[in-house]
């Protein structure tokens, strides 16, 4: 059965299955067997490719972070003024690919993972610093020395909206548009200081 490079596809399938299972169960207490079944392979194969459950989680985290990074880059490419760029970052934060229920649930659980797993912490740190420096860079011309503070305020608000999205039952969940407009409102108030 061994065909040309099944490995990349398998890895991708397992990573996607991991996001899905974390979303369904709502926690990291998913078994490798569950993930593997969802991906249509045996649990032995998952171990074969990733070595351990921990590595599966870390690969999944990298994947989510990569998607997010791509969304930010994409949004930034279309923006020209500083303000447009800040708004683009906000938009990207709630982009369709990253703000799906299961992905948000995965994010939440990655925060938990980061409490104990150094590599998870490092990855989350990279995301934080990048988001922060992106914001500060474009806020500087707009609000001067207050840039770091404003970036922190916006960043915290975005994170908080994610947290609430994870918790809220589907019916009264804030949608992407509402979340974006809330953050942009805060931004507006900061700018007209």
Partner DNA sequence: CTTTTTGTTGATTGACGAGTCAATAAACTC
Partner DNA sequence: GAGTTTATTGACTCGTCAATCAACAAAAAG
- CB 153 within 8 Å of CB 182: no
Tokens of residue 96, six digits:
């369709």
Burial of 162 (0-12, 13-18, 19+ CB in 10 A): buried
184 lies in the binding site for a second copy (CB under 8 A):
no
d(CA 105, CA 26): 6
In 3D, which of 16, 23, 43 has the Cα closest to residue 32?
A: 43
**Smallest distance, a second copy to C-beta of residue 170, A:** 13
108 lies in the binding site for a second copy (CB under 8 A):
yes
Question: By C-beta, is 18 or 98 nearer to DNA?
Answer: 18
According to CB under 8 A, which one of 25, 47, 100, 173 is a site residue for a second copy? 25
114 lies in the binding site for a second copy (CB under 8 A):
yes
Positions in 146-165 near a second copy (CB under 8 A): 149, 152-153, 155-161, 163-164
According to CB under 8 A, which one of 56, 92, 124, 131 is a site residue for a second copy? 124
Angle, helices 101-114 vs 147-167, to 10°: value is 110
d(CA 76, CA 130): 13
Binding mask 18-57 for DNA (x = CB under 7 A): ------------xxxx------xxxxxx-xx--xxxx---
Question: By C-beta, is 33 or 188 nearer to a second copy?
Answer: 188
d(CA 163, CA 105): 9
Torsion sign (Cα): 130, 131, 134, 139: negative
12 lies in the binding site for DNA (CB under 7 A):
no
Write out the residues near a second copy by the rule CB under 8 A. 25-29, 105, 108-109, 111-116, 121, 124, 128, 149, 152-153, 155-161, 163-164, 166-167, 169, 174, 182, 185-186, 189-190, 193
Write out the residues near DNA by the rule CB under 7 A. 1-7, 10, 30-33, 40-45, 47-48, 51-54
């Amino acid at each position: 059965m061994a065909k040309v490079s099944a490995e990349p596809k398998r890895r991708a399938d397992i990573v996607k299955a991991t996001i899905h299972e974390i979303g369904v169960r709502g926690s990291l207490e998913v078994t490798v067997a569950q993930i593997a079944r969802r991906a249509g392979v045996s649990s032995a194969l998952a171990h074969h490719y990733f070595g351990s459950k921990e590595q599966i989680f870390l690969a999944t985290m990298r994947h989510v972070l990569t998607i997010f990074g791509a969304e930010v880059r994409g949004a930034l490419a279309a923006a020209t003024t500083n303000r447009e760029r800040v708004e683009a970052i906000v938009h990207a934060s709630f982009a369709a690919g990253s703000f799906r229920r299961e992905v948000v649930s995965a994010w939440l659980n990655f925060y938990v993972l980061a409490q104990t797993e150094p590599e998870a912490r490092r990855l989350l740190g990279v995301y934080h610093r990048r988001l922060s420096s992106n914001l500060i860079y474009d806020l500087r011309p707009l609000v001067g020395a207050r840039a770091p503070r404003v970036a922190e305020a916006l960043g915290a608000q975005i994170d908080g909206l994610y947290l609430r999205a994870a918790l809220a039952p589907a019916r009264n969940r804030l949608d992407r548009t509402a979340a974006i407009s809330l953050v942009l409102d805060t931004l507006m108030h900061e700018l007209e200081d």
